[in-house]
Amino acid sequence: MTRTFDIERARAETRACENIIHFNNAGSSLTSAPVVDYLCEFIKLEESVGGYESVEQEAAALDNFYNATARLINCNTSEIAYAENATRAWDMAFYGLSFNPGDRILTTMSEYGSNVIAYNQQAERYGVEVVFVPDDQYGQIDVEALQRMVDDRVKLISISMIPTGGGLVNPAVGVGKVARDAGIPYLLDACQAVGQLPLDVEAIGCDMLSATGRKFLRGPRGTGFLYVRSTMMDKLIPPFLDQHAADLISPGEYRMLEDARRFENWEQYFAGKAALGVAIDYAMDWGLASIRDRVFSLAETLRARLREIDGVELTDQGQVKCGIVTFEVDRADAYRVKSELHKRKINVSVSDGSGTLVSFQQRGIERVIRSSVHYFNTTQEIDIFTDALKDVLALNR
């Protein structure tokens, strides 16, 4: 039997719902009350007993981060590393790979801008070729084209499951099958996916996965994690090491940790790390499938309402669309619209070309307004938002 979604509880445990409409969950979601309360308790403990001492007292909660994350994505705790954010997690995996002149990296047209910068940096250093796999008819990565482009020069397939500038969900499982059949390492940026829909690294087939805490997981800012498949562990060389990631056993010899914690560093945001474990447990208590169903349904309702507004053009691609809803506005500056909505206590964001440059340039898009819903949002908030958007657009005509 399908469990009824308890929206009253969700909103009661999201205290800011009383004051604002938050449609910026793809930027940073509203942290739930249980997570905030725990985070504050940890920081107060640091204040009262000391930083090192609080870590000792909260050892079980810190261990729970690894246990919770492993349950979240279906892997072993030894395959999880804590990171300060998704970018650092992704960097630790990507820059741990070795490349030679002529090697190729295959990625998507919708790839995240920071990742593209990293690809190009390694291209400059090592003579790597960065190749963008074309989109299919839905605007997502064309898996058949990807398969045709695979040869012995391809040393990495790296994609963002959900791009920052649109609502499409790339077919990560299909990409994983291509990578697995060809024996090519597969790096998945799940920054916008984790917490929004179920993720299973065994089903996806990725060798590495990076994620953040602040978005759909509703965890603290400054938190994230990296997954590295056990069979991939010794094929990656951490870009840097310290005495947490490795042991110095003589003046000229060190030994790295055997598990994914070799990709961590000694000084961490311990309060945030433990609180991220709480946030993951909180999400799993709701159920990731239930979260996905509600978020996707709300997003489709929002898209339907936006289609009714003159001067609004939806820009989301993909056969499967998620909780990120993007659109352009005719004869109105996107940043001005965002500012006017903010005055009405409605939060959205603007995505410009820097985040999704390759796709935006191909499609002739300069910037879009990004509205992103979560399970604590309501259809009533969607109605308020679209009415406010109509008023804002009317003022700019």
Band of pLDDT at residue 1, cut at 50, 70 and 90: very low
Residue 2 pLDDT exceeds 60:
no
Band of pLDDT at residue 397, cut at 50, 70 and 90: low
Q: Which pLDDT belongs to residue 3?
A: 64
**Whole-number Å distance between alpha carbons of 234 and 47:** 39
Phi–psi pair at 239, nearest 5 degrees: -60, -30
Q: Which pLDDT belongs to residue 354?
A: 82
pLDDT in tens, 41-64: 999 999 999 999 999 999 999 999
Q: Is the pTM of this model over 0.95?
A: yes
Q: Which pLDDT belongs to residue 245?
A: 97
Q: Which pLDDT belongs to residue 87?
A: 96
Band of pLDDT at residue 396, cut at 50, 70 and 90: confident
Mean pLDDT, to the nearest integer, of 228-256?
96
Vertex 216: Cα angle to 211 and 221 (nearest 5): 65
Element (H, E) at 155: strand 154-160
Q: Which pLDDT belongs to residue 165?
A: 95
For the chain, counts of helices (H) and of strands (E): 14, 15
pLDDT in tens, 354-392: 899 999 999 999 999 999 999 999 999 999 999 999 999
pLDDT, averaged across the chain: 97
Element (H, E) at 210: strand 208-212
Q: Which residue has the tokens 């499967």?
A: 320
Q: Which pLDDT belongs to residue 4?
A: 84
> Which residues, listed in sequence order, are joined to residue 224 by a DSSP beta bridge?
83, 212
Give the chain's radius of gyration (CA, Å).
21
Judge whether 138 and 328 are in contact, CB under 8 Å.
Answer: no
Structural domains in the chain, CATH included, are: 7-32+287-395 (3.90.1150.10), 35-285 (3.40.640.10)
> Which residues, listed in sequence order, are joined to residue 265 by a DSSP beta bridge?
none
Judge whether 282 and 218 are in contact, CB under 8 Å.
Answer: yes
Q: Which residue has the tokens 């000391």?
A: 50
Q: Which pLDDT belongs to residue 395?
A: 86
pLDDT in tens, 90-133: 999 999 999 999 999 999 999 999 999 999 999 999 999 999 99
Mean pLDDT, to the nearest integer, of 344-348?
98
